[in-house]
Structure 1
């Protein structure tokens, strides 16, 4: 069985894909999966589901939701339900089941390893596979408690970092011309991510568009000044100077085996 939380919650068992329509039960199962193999205290679960204003019979309600999740996850070929009572709360044991976010982390780590070894083709494949697991916002981006809010923040940053590493790997493979439009879109959507501006500048420069690359720098500098009162980071400033002097080090290195 595979659990998927990189998007709306889904449980995949062979060819069958199941989801939970009841919002509070979906929140509860998602929290158990985010903290899988860890005991989550009852009061933490209550905060995740109901926020700071739980109903009067909240413990009884939580027990009902746990019972419904156990029924949802029960399989005739299993000796034990994955959701266990463990004082002071509950735990979901993954066992041999899969969780998409752990697969995502493995693929990202593989990509980093390939990049460090200059195997950029394999690195790009790992990063692409990791990003393919993303199916959309978790729980429509509306959460009550710190566990899911923290997970959403982590997932957002981890996905963006993966995108940036993928762009770096593709740049090293000489795919700068095909990256320009994607990097323009990414830099516009995330104007404070200096790495994306750096990648766009480099892709433009290698595509013979030095003036456009310098314009990207000025635009990024203006945004950083207006939004944060900051100058661009050293890497971005160094890249601007290198473009102004047509530094040979900006040219694509001799290709290495993928």
Structure 2
């Protein structure tokens, strides 16, 4: 059985994919998946599900939800209860390959290690595989409690970090032509993430599209100024100047 939370929460068992339709039970399972193999206290789970205004019999209702989740997991082939009672609450017992976010972290770390040792093709493959696990952002309706909300914020930053690494590796591999359309999409989705502007400007310059690279800088400056009242970072400004001067440092490394 595999739990996937990089997108809407779902459970995969053999060839079957299912979701929890009851919102409060979905929130409970999401919190347990995020904190898998660690104890989440009943108080934390109650706060996650009901916020500052829990019902009078919140603890008893939580027990009912846990019981129902256990039955659901057993029905879909968990091979025994994976939700274990551990004072002062509960823990979801899993293996590292049963949760997509743990697989993502492992692939990203392996990709970073491959990059550090110069194995660029391997790094590119691992980082793309990590990003392939993403189905979308954590739905906003699940973000009402601190556990899921904090996870959603962390997950988005981790995804952007992985994208940055993946694109930088592919630029080192000379895949600038293949990257341009992907980077335009990423910039549109993340207009305040400056690394993407740097990467698309470099890719366009290496594709002999100098005017387009300069237009991207103007777009970045306008967006950052309008949304944040800021000028582009020094790195982006220096890249802009190098493109204007057609600096040699922008060319691909000789080994590539």
> What TM-score, normalized by structure 2, do the two folds share?
0.92
Identify the residue that residue 130 of structure 1 maps to in structure 2: 130
| Partner Cα distance (2:9, 2:230) in 1 | 39
Q: 1:149 to 1:205 in 2, by over 3 A?
A: same
Following superposition, the deviation at residue 124 of structure 1 comes to: 1.3
| Partner Cα distance (1:65, 1:245) in 2 | 64
| Partner Cα distance (2:227, 2:140) in 1 | 27
Identify the residue that residue 160 of structure 2 maps to in structure 1: 160
| Partner Cα distance (1:100, 1:124) in 2 | 19
Identify the residue that residue 117 of structure 2 maps to in structure 1: 117
User: Which is worse superposed, 9-18 or 36-45?
Assistant: 9-18
Identify the residue that residue 206 of structure 1 maps to in structure 2: 206
Q: 1:198 to 1:206 in 2, by over 3 A?
A: same
Q: 1:81 to 1:244 in 2, by over 3 A?
A: same
Identify the residue that residue 197 of structure 1 maps to in structure 2: 197
Question: Which segments of 5 or more consecutive residues in structure 1 lack a partner in the other structure?
Answer: none
Q: Deviations over 1:167-210 (max 9, x none)?
A: 11111111112221221221122121110000011011101111
Identify the residue that residue 236 of structure 2 maps to in structure 1: 236
Cα RMSD after superposing both structures: 1.9
Q: Deviations over 1:35-88 (max 9, x none)?
A: 01111111110111112222222112111000011112237884x522111121
Count of residues in Structure 1 that have an aligned counterpart in Structure 2: 255
> What TM-score, normalized by structure 1, do the two folds share?
0.91
Question: Which segments of 5 or more consecutive residues in structure 2 lack a partner in the other structure?
Answer: none
| Partner Cα distance (2:66, 2:193) in 1 | 41
User: Which is worse superposed, 235-244 or 137-146?
Assistant: 137-146
Following superposition, the deviation at residue 28 of structure 1 comes to: 0.4
Contact 1:47–1:144 at 8 Å: present in 2 too? no
Identify the residue that residue 83 of structure 1 maps to in structure 2: 83
| Partner Cα distance (1:134, 1:177) in 2 | 24
Q: Deviations over 1:206-240 (max 9, x none)?
A: 01111221221122122222222222112111111
| Partner Cα distance (1:96, 1:187) in 2 | 33
User: Which is worse superposed, 172-181 or 69-78?
Assistant: 69-78
